[in-house]
């Protein structure tokens, strides 16, 4: 193998890595945001089911233990990026602490 051939191979490898690595991280970030938004939807649905079953109003505030029976496998969903969820009242949307981050973890 000539030195020119090796240099060309290394240059091609650098270009391929420069293109694929950022898109890999962007795809991972997009997946995490979608999972977080899905978790927020599950929590919001659980709040509404809790309200209907216990004849509460949109002004009542459930606890995590109140919502556990309405979540899959009795597990409260978590943010894949480590955000902390705030339940709020039934009439409010649940919020992730990374909601102001870009891309946003918001419903
Ligand atoms: Zn989140």
- Please give the pLDDT value at position 25: 82
CB atoms within 10 A of CB 70: 18
Expressed in angstroms and rounded, the spacing between residue 8 Cα and the centre of ligand 1 is 43
Residue of higher predicted confidence among 1 and 81: 81
Cα distances from 59 to residues 43, 77, 88, in angstroms, run: 16, 23, 9
Expressed in angstroms and rounded, the spacing between residue 32 Cα and the centre of ligand 1 is 8
The answer to whether residue 58 scores a pLDDT higher than 90 is: yes
φ, ψ for residue 86 (rounded to 5)?
A: -115, 125
Task: Report pTM.
Answer: 0.80
- The domain limits of the chain are 3-96
For residues 88 and 61, give the distance between their C-alpha atoms in angstroms, rounded to a whole number: 6
Mean pLDDT over each residue of the chain, to the nearest integer: 93
Expressed in angstroms and rounded, the spacing between residue 60 Cα and the centre of ligand 1 is 24
Q: What is the pLDDT of residues 72-105, one digit of tens each?
A: 889 999 999 999 999 999 999 999 999 988 889 9
Expressed in angstroms and rounded, the spacing between residue 64 Cα and the centre of ligand 1 is 17
The stretch 39-47 carries a mean pLDDT of: 96
Expressed in angstroms and rounded, the spacing between residue 100 Cα and the centre of ligand 1 is 10
Cα distances from 27 to residues 22, 31, 91, 93, in angstroms, run: 9, 6, 33, 26
């Amino acid at each position: 193998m000539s030195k020119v051939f090796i240099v060309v191979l290394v240059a091609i490898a650098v270009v391929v890595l420069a293109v694929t690595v950022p898109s890999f991280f962007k795809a991972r970030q997009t997946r995490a945001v979608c999972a977080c938004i899905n978790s927020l939807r599950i929590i919001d649905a659980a709040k509404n089911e809790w309200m209907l079953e216990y004849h509460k109003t949109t002004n009542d505030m459930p606890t995590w233990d109140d919502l556990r029976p309405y979540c899959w496998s009795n597990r409260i969903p978590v943010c894949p990026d480590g955000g902390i969820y705030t339940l709020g009242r039934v009439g409010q949307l649940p919020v992730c602490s990374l909601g102001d981050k870009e891309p946003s973890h918001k419903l």
